[in-house]
Amino acid sequence: MKKIRAAAAFIMDMVRTAGRHSVPRSAAALAYFFLLSFFPLLLCINAFVGLFHVDAQELIASVGRFLPPQAAELARDYVQYLSQNQSPALLLVGVPGVLLPASAGLRVLLDTMDELYGHPRETGIKRIAGSVFFSLLFLVTVYLSIVVILTGDWFLGFVEDILPGELSVLWDFSGVANLWRWLRYVLLFCFVMLLVLALYRLGTPKQHVHPGPMLLSALLCALSLVGASAVFSRFIAMSSRYSVLYGSLASLIILLLWLYLCGAVLLAGAVFNRVWTK
């Protein structure tokens, strides 16, 4: 009974802390900047997968299981349009299109974490440079995730082709391929968790850094992102009223709601870490 009361008190403390520091409003700002960077990110991804001779639609199909159906369909249509209108100039536009709004969203998150810890808000070129660098790290993480998701089967097939016949029969490539189809999503989850952990470490003042709670916060945040996205996708798939209410804008509205949910979960992890380490 004491543990239940302690857990309830902890949750209430998180709710009060989030309300006191306007976390829902910050989540809305994050959703706005995420939306601005979403389509330029698809542009960069489409250019990148061309280097591996992989169908971009295959990528969207693989990642689509983590997105609401309407958002996945919107991304699929946009990538199909890009595939028919390839141009090196698009990539030159896409990279700044990702970095600028993503870095602005990151500064919103860092400013919110400064408020959570009562730390003076940092301004100036150092904060801007740090946010742009971290946004570039995010883009690299996305590219690594693409490599993990799409090139595993190709790499196993390449190894099987170059090995001598007497050695290839000793290795069960079909079993390894089946195992890889599951392990690649575990690696993708690890990428997300490490990125969230680095983000929390960047935004937490040195005197409040506690590795154990911070690692737990990043793990819970990554799990919550996966779980909340799955529940949200299921809920949207069961409802057909969004297209009636919003018409042709339904996919964009659902994408914005999903991005808001992701931003709220990311900020909730920061609140969890703050309340835990009080």
Alpha-carbon distance of 139 to 145, in angstroms, equals 10
Residue 166 or 4, more confident: 4
| Residue 91: HSE in the Cβ half-sphere, 13 Å Cα cutoff | 12
Q: 130: left (phi > 0), else alpha (psi -120 to 50), else beta? A: alpha
Q: What angle do CA 244, 246, 248 make, to 5 degrees?
A: 95
Model pLDDT for residues 188-197, shown as the tens digit of each residue: 788 888 889 9
Average pLDDT of the chain to the nearest whole number: 76
The confidence band for 41, taking pLDDT boundaries of 50, 70 and 90, is confident
The confidence band for 250, taking pLDDT boundaries of 50, 70 and 90, is confident
Percentage of the chain with pLDDT > 70? 65
Structure confidence at residue 210 (pLDDT): 86
Q: Which of 187, 203, 19, 34 is nearest to 105 (CA)?
A: 34
The residue assigned the tokens 């409003």 is 25
Tell me whether residue 134 is exposed, middle or buried, using C-beta atoms within 10 angstroms of its C-beta: 0 to 12, 13 to 18, 19 or more. buried
Token pair of 78 as six digits: 């946009």
Phi, psi of 86 (to 5 degrees): -70, 135
Structure confidence at residue 215 (pLDDT): 92
Structure confidence at residue 159 (pLDDT): 53
Q: Which of 128, 109, 100 is nearest to 204 (CA)?
A: 109
The confidence band for 151, taking pLDDT boundaries of 50, 70 and 90, is low
Residue spans of the domains in the chain: they are 2-276
DSSP state for residue 87 in the 8-state scheme: -
Structure confidence at residue 264 (pLDDT): 92
Structure confidence at residue 211 (pLDDT): 86
Query: How large is the average pLDDT for residues 246-275?
Result: 83
Structure confidence at residue 28 (pLDDT): 92
Structure confidence at residue 8 (pLDDT): 85
pTM to 2 decimal places: 0.79
The confidence band for 265, taking pLDDT boundaries of 50, 70 and 90, is very high
Structure confidence at residue 247 (pLDDT): 57
Query: How large is the average pLDDT for residues 27-49?
Result: 81
Token pair of 167 as six digits: 């050695």
Residue 49 or 272, more confident: 272
Contacts of 7 (CB under 8 A, 6+ apart): none
Hey, what amino acid is at 90? L
Q: Which of 10-14, 152-156, 231-235, 246-250 has the lowest mean pLDDT?
A: 152-156
Structure confidence at residue 26 (pLDDT): 92
Query: Residue 228: pLDDT above 80?
Result: yes
